[in-house]
Structures are given as structure tokens and as C-alpha cells.
Amino acid sequence: MVRYAEITGWGKCVPPSVLSNSDLEVLTDTSDDWITTRTGIKERRISHVNVSDMAVVASLHALAAANLEPTDIDLILLATCTADLVIPSAASLVQAKLGATNAAALDLNAACSGWIYALNVGTQMVRSGGHNRVLVIGAEKLSFLLDFTDRSTAVLFGDGAGAVVLEATEEPVGLRSVEIGTDGSVADILCVPGVGTAGNRYQGDPSDYAVHMDGPEVFRRAVTAMGEASSRVVEQAGLSVDEVDLLIPHQANVRIIDATARKLKLAPEQVFVNIASYGNTSAATIPMALTEALQEGRVEPGANIVFAAFGAGLTWAAAVVRWGRRVEPLGTSDAHLPPVDKTAAELLEANVAFYGEGRRSE
């Protein structure tokens, strides 16, 4: 029997606290107009909980959509670069909080490309016969790694989680083609220099705990890599661009998304964009967007969906997924995060105090 891995469940978790562009105008020297026109972002979410908590809520929605219990899952892959802790993995915490007692669990860090990497790994594990039901999660708390007084990065990122369930099937659905790639020789153009064992634990410079990025250089490379990898996976899947139904790209900058869509010659209605609401949630953007695309009726049975991403590493990934017959969830869940009594700006007070107010007047 030839085994395939079908996406049978999907879900997301969006933290309740909203940080708007006008909130950012108070924290750093930026404007709603600049952020909107240069990135497409209007607001993002700031999480009051950890990555594993968001991952659990997204997973419970995905499990309900697949009509499965946590104990049905035999592998949990959590794509993240903002795990709760270095030890243990955030996936282990998710396994415990879900009660997924039959699942092995591991984190996978390929930054913004991580969820496509994890989809590939999970699919191969199912196809090889080693696993039958896999949770593939993307969850991030980028707000932890930002200096909210640094306008070059603070305006871009946000927090959130998305998850899918992969199940073994004999139907020829799921991943049809995939490309994952890395160029570690230029890793320093997008990094957090001081968080991890290479950091100076005793005398760190505060700025080393935040994302450093050469934005224009990352932009150029993202446009090239996402466009070219998307074209290659469409060809490898034996499809013409006319047969692509929907592009669900990583949501880093609407201008990168538009360039990727142009490369594939797709019309705007064939591209799913939700960056205005959430900004760049790294490995979570695509599973969150996929969930919303399904909820909005944008995915037809049998649809050919292209995913594409680019991020720190530097990594890139693209894939073509053939959707199965079912586009409606089998069940729903009322899982949600605990309430928060602070605004997003209040959640960031310690961040702004840590990085100082001086930068605003520089």
C-alpha cells in the first residue's frame, strides 16, 4: 500500500491583546502610514502566555476538526524559534498539557520556514509507515525577542500559533512536492546574537537579546527564494500555474507576497493574505493562514495549494499540497487562552523599560 499524509484537522490560537500601529507610534519613531505602506501590517498580537500554551490551544482546535483525541496522536512536531525554554523542548510541554501520552515530541527550528520543514518531516514519517497521526504545529512568541524601541524590527513581528493534524491515507493527497533549503553562510543578517549558549550569560549587551536584521537584504533574498522555490515545486508536482488554486505564503511583508504571486502569475484572489491582522508570526503564519482560508471557504475539495516561506538561517521552503475531499471540520473546540487583564502596551512595559526610552529621541 502506498501511504500518503492528509491534513485532516486545522486550528489556530490568537492571543487577545492587540498592538496597533498607533500603539507602536508611542513606543518608537514610526508611523501607521510607514508600516502600512512598507509592510501591509496594521496590527499584531502580544501574548501573555508561553509558546506551548498557544500551541496547545491551536492543537485542540485541530484535533476537534479531525475528530481525534490527544491520545490518538503518535508524533508532535513543533516548529518554533521561541520555545518556552531551551530545556525541555516546547513540544514536550505541549505533549504533557495535551495529555498526548502516546506521542513522541520534538521542536524543529527553521525560523519562519519551520512549519513547511515540519510538514515535510511529518509527511515523510507517515509515508514511511513509522507514524499514523502527527500534529504539525507552528507557534511563536516573537515579542520576547524584540526591542520595542527599535523601529527596524518592532513593527514587523507578532505572536500566535497554528496547527494541523496529518493522518495516513491511501488517497493520493497531501504533500505532492516540496523543497527545503538553507544558506547558513549569511545567517548573521537575521539573528539574535545573545540568546543561547553562545551568548554572554554574565555580561550581555541588552541589544544582543533582540532580533538583529538587515531588512533590505533579507527582503531581496526572500523575494528571490520564495518566487523561485514556488515555481520549482509547482513544476515538480507536474502542475501548470493555471492549476494552482491558492497560494498561502509566509506573511512577512505584503510586498514579498505580491512579488511571489507575480512570479507564479497568480491573480490576487488566488493568494491568501492576513498579514494586516497579525504581522509576521514566523513559523505560525502559514498554519494560521491555512486555518483562516478554510474557515472563509477559500479551499475547495481537491485544491492544489502552494505554501512558500523564507526566514532566519537563512532558510527557505516551498510545497504543493493537494487537499482532500473534506474542507469542513468534523468538530469544534472551545479551547482558548486564559484571560488577560492588560493591554498589549501594558504587557510591553518591562520591555520598553529594559531597552530604555533613549532610542526614541536618537
Selected catalytic residue, list 112, 131, 253, 351: 112
Q: Give the one residue of 222, 229, 248, 317 binding ligand UT7; rule: CB under 6 A.
A: 222
Task: State the minimum distance, in angstroms, from the CB of residue 290 to ligand UT7.
Answer: 17
Among 135, 252, 290, 345, binds ligand UT7 (CB under 6 A): 252
Is there binding between residue 280 and ligand UT7 (CB under 6 A)? Answer: yes
Interacting residues with ligand UT7 between 70 and 129 (CB under 6 A): 112
Considering only 15, 162, 279, 311, the residue that binds ligand UT7 (CB under 6 A) is 311
Q: Of 359, 356, 345, 316, which Cα lies nearest the Cα of 19?
A: 345
User: What's the min distance (Å) between Cβ of 36 and ligand UT7?
Assistant: 11
Nearest to 22 by CA among 41, 8, 4: 41
Closest residue to ligand UT7, based on beta-carbon distance? 215
Judged by CB, which is closer to ligand UT7: 151, or 322?
Answer: 151
Which parts of 184-213 interact with ligand UT7 (CB under 6 A)? 190
Query: Taking CB under 6 A as the rule, does residue 30 contact ligand UT7?
Result: yes
**Is residue 152 at the binding interface for ligand UT7, with CB under 6 A as the rule?**
yes
Q: Are 295 and 287 in contact (CB under 8 A)?
A: no
Q: Let me know: does 321 contact 115? Beta carbons within 8 Å.
A: no
Distance of CA 63 to the CA centre of its chain: 18
CA distances from 237 to 176, 186, 231 (A): 6, 30, 10
Grid cell listed for 214: 538587515
Known catalytic residue at 112 = yes
- Cell 496522536 belongs to 73
Considering the complex, state which of residue 54 and residue 223 has its C-beta at the smaller distance from ligand UT7: 223
Residue 315 binding ligand UT7, by CB under 6 A: no
- Rounded CA separation 355/81 (Å): 22
Phi/psi-derived region of residue 63, left when phi > 0, alpha when psi is between -120 and 50, beta in every other case: alpha
If one asks whether residue 155 binds ligand UT7 (CB under 6 A), the answer comes out as yes
Which H or E run includes 190? strand 190-191
Closest CA to 279 of 92, 38, 7, 4: 38
Q: Give the CA diameter of the chain.
A: 66
> Which listed residue (184, 216, 268, 339) binds ligand UT7 by CB under 6 A?
216
Q: What is the dihedral of CA 142, 144, 148, 153, to 10 degrees?
A: -30
Q: Which stretch binds ligand UT7 (CB under 6 A): 101-109, 214-222, 271-279, 348-356?
A: 214-222
> In the bound complex, what is the minimum distance in angstroms from residue 138's beta carbon to ligand UT7?
12
Using the rule CB under 6 A, is 351 a contact of ligand UT7? no
> Using CB under 6 A as the criterion, which residues of the chain lie in contact with ligand UT7 when the complex forms?
30, 34-35, 38-39, 112, 151-152, 155, 190, 215-216, 218-219, 222, 252-253, 256, 280, 310-311
